[in-house]
Structure 1
Amino acid sequence: MPLSDLTDHTGYWLRMVSNAVSQEFARKVTSEGVTVAEWAFLRAVYGEDGTSPTALADRMGMTRGAISKLADRLVAKGLLRRSATGGRGQSLTLTPEGRAKLPVLARLADENDAAHFGVLTAEERDALDRILRALAERRGLTKPPVD
């Protein structure tokens, strides 16, 4: 039985592009002192400043332990504040430094997308977005990619 070539698989091409996009973005955000996971975390907190770690874990599809570790790192970097809300509850908010860092990181994300996908026509990019969103929806993929 003949074996298919690696390049015969859509997943091969998807992984090639994904790796290039992800690795370049990781280099860019690392130059700003954060990881991709920390960027995703900061962006999620920005959307709901004052959120609880449990709510954030649910929304991001991560364990409470993973959220706690990311929060610890961001607190140590001065980008996040953890406050008690009574009992054992906590609230996560961005520090002024964290709030100031987000537009810089968002610009890097936008530039990374433009660098990698700007070679496509507007129609091609729209089609690619529609196809990838449809695949994610139909496969039930809801966890944000943070690694």
Structure 2
Amino acid sequence: MTTSLQQVGLAVKRLQWRHHREMNRRLTPLGLSLVQWDTLRHLDANPGASLHQLAELTFQTDQSMGELAKRMVDRGLIERVDGAGRKVQHQLTPTGYELRRAGGEVADSVLADTLGHLSAGERDTLHELLVKATADS
């Protein structure tokens, strides 16, 4: 019997949902939500990113990213810096960097609970297939 597209899609969604729930649970002691940690992670990888760029990277709307960034600035996790012209850029504070690092350890532990059961070859194949499925046609 061939696995249907819907079965595959549902399996991907269930794994994603499991990861999100567990990451939020394990990030709570750090005072972070998954979306906050994800913002820190993307800002670390893309220093000086605009709010619009961060919104795209974290699957947020520009408006929700603006509200989230304001709260993160107020908490001392990120700071606004002047960019070219009137552009406002963002960067991690030392506290934000430390929480990004600690959150990365949490993410690794959550992913190890699921994807860690796959062999290195299976993980490589899964990654290749997911990249292929998300590539623009």
TM-score (structure 2 length as normaliser)? 0.80
Of 7, 10, 23, 1:9 maps to 7
Task: Give 3-state SS (helix, strand or coil) of 1:31's partner.
Answer: helix
CA RMSD of aligned residues (A): 2.5
In the other structure, the counterpart of 1:116 is 114
User: For residues 86 and 128 of structure 1, what CA distance do their matches in structure 2 show?
Assistant: 41
In the other structure, the counterpart of 1:142 is none
Structure 1 segment 35-50 matched on structure 2, within 5 A: 35-50=33-48
The structure-2 alpha-carbon separation of the partners of 1:38 and 1:124, relative to structure 1 and needing over 3 Å to count, comes to same
In the other structure, the counterpart of 1:134 is 132
Percent identical among aligned pairs is 28
In the other structure, the counterpart of 2:105 is 107
User: For residues 20 and 60 of structure 1, what CA distance do their matches in structure 2 show?
Assistant: 18
User: For residues 12 and 136 of structure 2, what CA distance do their matches in structure 1 show?
Assistant: 17
User: For residues 77 and 106 of structure 2, what CA distance do their matches in structure 1 show?
Assistant: 17
Unaligned residue ranges in structure 1 (runs of 5+): 1-5, 140-147
User: For residues 118 and 127 of structure 1, what CA distance do their matches in structure 2 show?
Assistant: 14
The structure-2 alpha-carbon separation of the partners of 1:27 and 1:61, relative to structure 1 and needing over 3 Å to count, comes to closer
Deviates more, 1:78-87 or 1:115-124: 78-87
Deviates more, 1:52-61 or 1:38-47: 52-61
In the other structure, the counterpart of 2:27 is 29
Question: Could you report, residue by residue, the CA deviation over 1:3-55 in whole angstroms, capped at 9, with x for unpaired residues?
Answer: xxx9x722222222222122111211222111111111111111232333244
1:41·1:70 contact (CA, 8 Å) conserved in 2? no
Structure 1 residue 60: Cα displacement = 4.7
Could you say which structure has the higher helix fraction?
A: 2
User: What count of residue pairs does the alignment treat as equivalent?
Assistant: 133
